[in-house]
């Protein structure tokens, strides 16, 4: 449960700062949105 909340918060946090979180079944990576 906390994991889901953390991921949701991280998505929001990174979105505000122009980042986007790409997650797959095994790995997650953060990419900077420059467009």
In a 13 Å sphere around the CA of 28, the CA atoms on its Cβ side amount to: 8
pTM score > 0.85 for this model?
Answer: no
* Residue 13 CA, distance from chain mean position: 8
Greater pLDDT, 34 or 7: 7
pLDDT tops 50 at residue 35: no
The pLDDT confidence band at residue 9, using thresholds 50, 70 and 90, is confident
Instruction: Give the count of domains, the chain.
Output: 1
pLDDT tops 70 at residue 10: yes
- Give the tokens for residue 1: 């449960």
Share of the chain above pLDDT 70, in %: 34
Q: Is the dihedral of CA 4, 5, 8, 11 positive or negative?
A: negative
Mean pLDDT along residues 5-34: 68
For residue 23, the enclosing domain spans 2-32
Scan for tokens 């079944």, then name that residue: 25
The contacts of residue 33 (CB under 8 Å, 6+ apart) are: 18, 19, 20
């Amino acid at each position: 449960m906390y994991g889901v909340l953390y991921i949701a918060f991280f998505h929001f946090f990174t979105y505000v700062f122009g980042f986007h979180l790409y997650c797959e079944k095994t790995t997650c990576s953060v990419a900077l949105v420059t467009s």
